[in-house]
Structure 1
Amino acid sequence: MRFVDEATITVTGGKGGNGCLAFRREKFIPFGGPDGGDGGDGGSVYLVADEGLSTLSDFRYQRQFNAESGQAGAGSNRTGRSGADCDIKVPVGTVVRDADTEELIGDLTRHGQRLKVAAGGFHGLGNTRYKSSINRAPRQTSPGKPGEQRRLALELRLLADVGLLGAPNAGKSTLLSAVSQARPKVADYPFTTLNPELGVVEVDRLRRFVMADIPGLIEGSAAGAGLGTQFLRHLSRTRLLLHLLDLAPADPASKPAEEARKIVAELEAFDPDLAALPRWLVLNKADLLPADEAHERAAAVATELDWDGPLFVISAATGNGCQALCEAVMQHLEQNTAQAEP
C-alpha cells in the first residue's frame, strides 16, 4: 500500500431538529394548550485513534464526512431523535489542525482516544417552551442550529522509540531488517527507502522497542531537496536518534565526518527541537574493512567531530555489533523511563 501521511478532509456536524408547532386537541378538553416538542440535537463528528491503521490512505477516496441531523419535534410534547455521531478512524499518531487557521486541535497518541472535531447543532424549541401566563397559545418555535463545519489537515507522525538518521545508502534499512522482522527494500543505490518503515526490535522475550527508518537526507534537504524532510516529522516523537555513517563509502572523496555535519545542519534547519534529541553515532559497514582499520577510522571520525557521546562500530550486513547496540539502546530507554516516573 502506498504510504500517505497527510490528508485534508471536511467534517460537518448534523443540523439540530426543528421545534414543533402543535396544540393539544382532545374531546372534552376545549383548552388543551400548546404541546409542540423540541427537536433532537445534531450528531457530532469525532476522530478515533485506531492502532490497526498505519496510513491516511483511505482519505484519498473519501474527504467529506457528515454526522446525522436531529429529527424535528412532534405533537404531544414528543422530542425528536438526536442524530447519530460520526466516528472517523485514524491511525494512532495523527496530529489534527484546522486547515484554514492552522490551529492545533489535537494529537491522537493512544488507541481508542476520541477527539471531537465538529459539534452538532443545538435542537430547535417547540411552542410549548414559549407558553407563559400572558401567552397561553404561542405560535412561536425555533429552528435547529446548523452543525459546525471545518476543514481539517491530518498529519501522521509515527510513534517510535528510536529513529534512524543518515545519508542515502548509509545502511539504515539493512540495520532495521537485521534487528527486527521489518523487511524494507535494500539495494545498492541511493533512495531505496521512499516511505517510513517501522520495526519492533526484541532484545529478549520481555524487552522490546520500536525503531523507525526514514528516507536518507542530503545537503539542502531543509530547502526541499531529496525526500528526507518530507518524513522528518516522524522522528520528532522518538526518544533517541541513531546517526548512521558509512565507514567505507563508495566515493573515496566522501568523508564520514563531513556527512555527519551536513545531516546535523539539516536537522537544525528543519527543527531545532529535533536536533536537540539525544543522538548516538553508529559507524556501519565495518565488514568492508579489516577490523583494525575499521576501529581506526571510527576513532578518527570521533576526533574530527570532537565527539564524546556513545559511538558504535557495526556491520548491519553481517550483524556484527548489532546485538550490543540494541542492548545499549534498550538500557538507555529503560533508564529514561525510570527517571521520568514520579
Structure 2
Amino acid sequence: EHEDKKDMQTIIKEHINLGLIEPGVSAYSSPGFLVRNHGEIKRGKPREGLVLSEKKATIAVNKIEFLGILIDETGIELQEHIVEKIRNFPDVLKDKKHLQSFLGVVNFAGTFIKDLAKYRKDFRPLLKETESSKWKWEEIHTQRVRELKQVCSNLPKLAIPQDEDELIVYTDANDYRWAAVLIKRTTTGEEPCRYTGGLFSEQQAQVWHINEKEFFAVWKAFKKWPLFLLAKEFILKVDNTNVKAFLKKMEEFEANSIMLRLRHLRVNLEELDREFGRLAVNAQVAGQVQRTDFDIVQTTIRNSLVASTALWNALQEPIRKASPSVMSRELREQGS
C-alpha cells in the first residue's frame, strides 16, 4: 500500500507539472475512485484512480464523522463527546499529569478556539513542575479551567474554503503570545475557517523585538495552513508596517534555492485603510495588542512558500543565538 501511495503521488505531480490538473483548496472538488478488488492492482492490472477500501470507505454521504470532527458541505465542528470530555474534568486539577491530560484534549479543539494561548499562559509554570518542586494550584488556574470549559461549550462551526472564495489571513502578536485566523470572504460576508496561536518561549519573549514576533506569527500561520494558502492568492492583514516592508524587499535578502526557483512569483502589496476599528480585527484575532495609532497593512500574497521561506530565513539568527537579528536592529534604528 505504501508503494501504491508513492505511485499515486508521482502521477499527480506529473499531471500538475504538465498543467493537466491543478491543486484544489476544497476536499469536495476532488472525487475519488473505487477499486473493488485491491488484488487486481497487485497482479499488474492498470488502475483508473485512487484506491479506496469498500469495507472502510463511506461514499456518497452529506455528512461524516472523522477523528472527533463532524464534517459536511457547510463546514466542520467538534463532536459533542469531545466537548463533554472537557467539561467532565474537575475545576481543580490534582497534579501535572492531570493538567497535561486536560490541555491535551483542549489542544485537540484548538483550531476552533480563538486565542487559546491566552488561557494556556497561566498554566506554563505548573507544566515545569518537577518531582522536587511542590504542586501549587491557585485560584487563577481554577478560573482558567472554567473559562476553557465555557469556551469549549460554545465553539463555532468553521467554514470550509471553496476554490472561488477569497482567503484572508489575520495575524497579530504581543509580548508573550501570537494569534492568527484564516477567513474566507464571500458575497455574504466573512466566515472564520481556522484559528491558531501560541506562546513565545521565555527566551523569545525576553529577547525578540516586536517586529520579529509579528514576523513569527505570519510565518506560523503560513506553515499551519499550506493546504489552503499554497494553491491560490490570498490576503494578509497585519498591524505591523515592517512586515509589509520586509515582504516587499524580501528578494534583497539572501535567497535559498526554493526562492530562486520561484523568483518569477511576486508579492503584490496594497495599502489598506488606516481606520483599524473598521476592520474589526479585535473580533477576528483575540491576540490583539492594544495600540492607539498605527497602520493596518494589507498584503496580497501570490505564493506563501516564498514569503514563508523569507520569514523563516529572517528568524533563523535570533532562533539560533537568542539575540536580536541584524534585520531587527536595522528596523529598530529606522523606527527611532
More helix by share: 2
Q: How does the TM-score come out when normalised to structure 2?
A: 0.24
Normalising by structure 1, we get a TM-score of 0.24
Pair member with larger Rg = 1
